[in-house]
Amino acid sequence: MDSAPSLVIALLVGLAVAYVGGLAARTARLPPIVGYLIAGVVVGPSTPGLVANPHAVEELAQIGVVLLLFGVGLRFSFADLRAVWRIAVPGALLQIVASGALAFGVARLIGFATEAAAALAMSLAVASTVVATRALEERGRLMTEAGRIALGWLVMQDLVVVLVLVVLPGGPAPFVFAGAPLAVGALKLLEAAIFAAIILPLGRRLIPWILTLTARDGSRELFRLAVIVSALGIAYLAAALVGVSPALGAFFAGITLAESDVSHQAAGESLPVQQIFTVLFFVSVGMLFDPSVLVRAPLQVAAVSAMVIIGNALITLIVLFALSAAPRSALEVAALLAQVGEFSFIVSGAAASSGLLPGDGRSLVLAAALISILVQPLMLRAAAALGAPLEKIGFLRAWHAGRREIKRRDTLPQLESHAIVIGHGRVGSVIAASLREQGVPYIVIEQNLRFAEQLRQEGVPVIYGDAAWPEVFEATRPDRARLIVIAVPDKSAVRRILAAAHAINPKLDVVARTHSLDEAEWLKAHGVGRVVMGESQTASEMANYAAKRFAP
């Protein structure tokens, strides 16, 4: 009974300080992540004043990590992974080896023994998937070429970390060094392969079937619940049966659902829960940090942080150039990976618990993580500013020109200069029929799954989901569209859809319907090209007919 109040208090304190810190960061024109991290430091056990329960916050934060990676998997299919495999697999492996060697050298220079230096090197060679994906999402860059390369790269890093934890004392298999590490490691790999071979095909059938069945029932509450249960269930099933990270299991759970009819709506429904718990991850990172290490070992902190920020960025950039990646994408990926996070904490924690890494070693990892995450927004701005000039360098342009272009998975390749019809009811169906007769390409967003399935059987391009969710709306390619027809009557929904449309394509022409004169004026003032009022149109038609009947 005592743990429940502690959990509630930890949740309340964590979210409250995150809100204050995030608000302060936004006021200072900094990313909210910076505020969350500093808020964690303020309520951590290493600073005076209010102290939240770090263990409770960390457990809550794991839910956010799982849901975040599940959401990324929903938008990143096997086709996307195959598209970046040529760069992500060799690139990540080369980068881990090179970064590890550099970190090992730095660790030896600042006085670490060989084994401790090796543990520290592995902790500093891998970036935070949570930090990188959050940065991509906030900047709308998740599905760009740089975003897909970074995600593939991070997946490879995560897999390498899983293998390291298999043979690391204090990790999932602490008995390994006492026996035959290669044999046990191979057995673990075999277990993971068998699990993947079973769960991925099963998941691609079972999860979409469950969610589709729930969606047909029409209850958004049950659908959202099914999404969350699927994400957490697969994640912790993977961890319990194979020992892989729950976050990695959640990522593959998302991939199993990515190509289903309900994927876009699932992404939208899980987003609010994901965002709340992901905030707690950054608060938990701040809580682990002991600011006194900055005073006790400033040179060591500076050396390790420089290795992470400058060393990892340069190594990643060189590897990407060697693999003939586009200069602009290479710079962005290098900036995204110039930080460390959750897996670094796991590796350093396992090494510290086994005695391989001294306490100061873990403090250095946390210091480097905090500093690198704080600096990353500046790195991304620098990468954006240097991208265009770098592409003008002759030999880089020539080297990149011969590479095969990485193409995005495209389920609707025919959409160009099209109309987006939202709602296929009595009004929307008439509009869609008219567009079809005129040969105008269009796509429908329909929130009723039964209607959506019927339209798909009739050959109509359709996306199932709530158009007010950006994840659903973006699937219709609004950046290429010419017109959006909002045929739903709900005032709140129309406003949210309009905000989503203008956020992606401010030049998109919009026609909407309403039953209110005040609402019509509001819509016109907010960029709607044509507002149609049902009563006005009806009255106008009837008045015209009456006038014609009495005309001389």
Cα separation, 73 vs 78, in Å, equals 9
Clarify whether residues 366 and 507 are in a common domain.
Answer: no
| Boundary (domain end) residue, out of 401, 436, 456 | 401
Clarify whether residues 453 and 384 are in a common domain.
Answer: no
Closest to 361 in 3D by CA, of 57, 83, 106: 106
pLDDT at 354: 74
Low-confidence ranges of the chain (pLDDT < 70): 1-5, 49-52, 75-83, 142-143, 162-193, 195-196, 199, 218, 242-245, 259, 391, 394-414, 535-536, 550-552
Clarify whether residues 162 and 280 are in a common domain.
Answer: yes
233: in domain: yes
| Boundary (domain end) residue, out of 374, 401, 428 | 401
Render the burial of 456-470: b for 16+ CB within 10 Å, e for the rest: beeebbbbbbbbbbb
In this structure, are strands 442-446 and 462-464 parallel, antiparallel, or unpaired? Answer: parallel
Closest to 373 in 3D by CA, of 348, 342, 352, 351: 342
47: in domain: no
Residues paired with 419 in a beta bridge: 442, 483
Residues 6+ apart with CB under 8 A from 4: none
Cα separation, 541 vs 307, in Å, equals 73
Own/partner contacts of 141-148, CB < 8 Å, gap of 24 or more, are 141/332, 142/72, 142/75, 143/75, 143/408, 144/329, 145/326, 145/329, 145/406, 146/328, 146/329, 146/332, 146/333, 146/336, 148/76, 148/80, 148/83, 148/84, 148/406, 148/408
Q: What is the CATH number of the domain that holds 544?
A: 3.40.50.720
First to last CA, the chain: 87
Clarify whether residues 125 and 254 are in a common domain.
Answer: yes
pLDDT at 316: 94
Clarify whether residues 108 and 158 are in a common domain.
Answer: yes
Provide the residue range defining the domain that includes 322: 56-401
Radius of gyration of the chain (CA): 26
pLDDT at 458: 83
Neighbour-count burial of 453, counting CB atoms closer than 10 A to its CB (0-12 exposed, 13-18 middle, 19+ buried): middle
341: in domain: yes
Cα separation, 56 vs 17, in Å, equals 15
Cα separation, 176 vs 427, in Å, equals 66
Cα separation, 235 vs 214, in Å, equals 21
Clarify whether residues 354 and 487 are in a common domain.
Answer: no
- Structure tokens, 495: 């406003």
Contact 235, 246 (CB under 8 A): yes
518: in domain: yes
In this structure, are strands 530-533 and 509-514 parallel, antiparallel, or unpaired? Answer: parallel
Closest to 256 in 3D by CA, of 272, 237, 242, 282: 237
Clarify whether residues 302 and 370 are in a common domain.
Answer: yes
Clarify whether residues 378 and 494 are in a common domain.
Answer: no
8: in domain: no
Clarify whether residues 251 and 393 are in a common domain.
Answer: yes
Say how many CA atoms lie within 13 Å of 266 toward its Cβ: 33
Clarify whether residues 86 and 209 are in a common domain.
Answer: yes
Residues in the chain: 552
Q: What's the CA angle centered on 487, arms 482 and 492, to 5 degrees? A: 105
33: in domain: no
Clarify whether residues 90 and 136 are in a common domain.
Answer: yes
46: in domain: no
For residue 110, how far is the Cα from the chain centroid?
A: 36
Tokens 């936004």, residue located: 26
Contact 532, 510 (CB under 8 A): no
Q: What is residue 474's DSSP assignment?
A: G
Q: What is the CATH number of the domain that holds 96?
A: 1.20.1530.20
- Structure tokens, 123: 């902790």
Clarify whether residues 476 and 335 are in a common domain.
Answer: no
| Boundary (domain end) residue, out of 354, 370, 401 | 401
490: in domain: yes
Q: What is the pLDDT of residues 427-443, one digit of tens each?
A: 888 888 888 888 888 99
Contact 43, 50 (CB under 8 A): yes
Full-model pTM: 0.67
Domain count, the chain: 2
Strand, helix or coil for residue 108: helix
Tokens 């730095």, residue located: 106
